[in-house]
């Protein structure tokens, strides 16, 4: 097995994958679970807490995995660890194996109970909590035998789940990872202003950036597309709103706004739910747009159920077109 001076395996992606598959039969599942937990949480202590074991036990499992693979998976800096390039490559292949096993276990359970999901859907939170439940409900009325399984996550994991063929269809924001998946449909919708009931801006026909000057604002974190869009927009304002609170979940932003902790700007699906919960929403007058995409595994044909879901989702999106 070729190694570099640090004892780390080096190979192209194809041979690396074969190497991982061969190793997988030799390694303990517990050490792989510890590795995945460290990659997810970013710390050994976080992994230990997730696995319900002690921190020394988690460290021992990671050392065992590094010894058996010949890979240097983490660098240590005091009490913190940082994943190496090899760790990120290894994680992709380990995830393929684990997601495959989970898929098999889930399928067996569903087949035994006669409740096998027709399709598995990966969706960004803004759509998973709003438009998609409504789309599934409408589709189930038209196709009583329709069954679905939801996985809610941020955009990159949506792409990953679809690319790994763990989900037949994904709904999220626009993605640049088009070599891994096929884009079925894209769309663009206007954002909406939201506020608590009785807010003065609720009386306007539409809300613009000048109306927000100096107001307390509940925004998206800057790791989200919407967060970056409006951070740039507010940076150009002479007197921007004061961002008091942030979240990456649109429904959390709505919940904070409806309790009077500030105003916000969200996608039209979230705004619709916000109004149902007693808040107010007005059109946002700005160039920013909520862009979404529907994706599928590369080269695969959409099932009739997936095609039906996309059609119903577009019906709902059309209700919010300008």
Report domain extents, the chain: 13-98, 117-188+291-318, 192-287
Kindly indicate the confidence band of residue 2, based on its pLDDT and cuts at 50, 70 and 90. Answer: very low
pLDDT at residue 176 tops 80: no
Q: Which residue has the higher pLDDT, 124 or 115?
A: 124
Average pLDDT, the chain: 84
Query: Architecture of domain 192-287 in CATH?
Result: 3-Layer(aba) Sandwich (3.40)
pLDDT at 197: 96
Q: Is it true that 13-98 and 117-188+291-318 share their CATH fold?
A: no
Share of the chain above pLDDT 90, in %: 46
- The reported pTM is 0.63
Pick the CATH number of 117-188+291-318 from 3.40.50.1580, 3.40.190.10, 3.40.630.10, 3.30.2230.10: 3.40.190.10
pLDDT at 21: 54
pLDDT at 5: 41
Kindly indicate the confidence band of residue 231, based on its pLDDT and cuts at 50, 70 and 90. Answer: very high
pLDDT at residue 81 tops 90: no
Give 242-269 pLDDT, tens digit per residue. Answer: 999 999 899 999 999 999 999 999 999 9
Pick the CATH number of 13-98 from 2.40.420.20, 1.10.150.120, 2.60.120.280, 1.10.10.10: 1.10.10.10
pLDDT at 95: 80
**Which range is least confidently modeled, 42-46, 52-56, 111-115?**
111-115
Kindly indicate the confidence band of residue 119, based on its pLDDT and cuts at 50, 70 and 90. Answer: confident
| Cβ atoms of residues 174 and 295 within 8 Å | no
pLDDT at 188: 94
């Amino acid at each position: 097995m070729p190694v570099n001076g640090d004892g780390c395996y080096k190979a192209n992606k194809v041979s690396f994958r074969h190497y991982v598959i061969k190793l997988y039969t030799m390694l303990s599942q517990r050490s792989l679970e510890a590795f995945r937990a460290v990659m997810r949480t970013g710390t050994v202590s976080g992994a230990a807490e997730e696995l319900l074991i002690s921190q020394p036990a988690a460290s021992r499992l990671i050392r065992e995995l590094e010894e058996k693979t010949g890979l240097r998976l983490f660098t240590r800096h005091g009490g913190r660890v940082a994943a190496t390039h090899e760790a990120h490559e290894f994680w992709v292949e380990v995830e393929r194996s684990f997601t495959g096993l989970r898929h098999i276990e889930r399928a067996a359970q569903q087949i035994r109970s006669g409740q096998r999901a027709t399709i598995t859907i990966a969706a960004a939170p803004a759509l998973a909590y709003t438009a998609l439940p409504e789309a599934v409900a409408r589709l189930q009325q038209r196709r009583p035998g329709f069954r679905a399984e939801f996985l809610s996550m941020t955009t990159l994991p949506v792409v990953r789940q679809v690319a790994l063929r763990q989900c037949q269809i994904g709904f999220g924001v626009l993605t640049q990872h088009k070599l891994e998946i096929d884009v079925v449909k894209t769309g663009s919708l206007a954002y909406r202003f939201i506020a608590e009931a009785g807010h003065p801006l609720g009386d306007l026909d539409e809300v613009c950036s000048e109306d927000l000057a100096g107001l307390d604002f509940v925004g998206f974190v800057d790791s989200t597309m919407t967060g970056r869009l409006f951070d740039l927009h507010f940076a150009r304002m002479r007197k921007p709103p004061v961002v008091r609170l942030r979240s990456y979940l649109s429904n959390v932003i709505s919940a904070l706004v409806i309790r009077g902790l500030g105003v916000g700007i969200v996608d039209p699906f979230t705004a619709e739910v916000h109004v149902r919960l007693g808040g107010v929403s007005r059109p946002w007058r700005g160039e920013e747009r909520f862009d979404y995409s529907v994706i599928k595994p590369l080269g695969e044909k959409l099932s009739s159920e997936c095609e039906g879901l996309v059609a119903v989702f577009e019906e709902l999106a059309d209700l919010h077109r300008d």
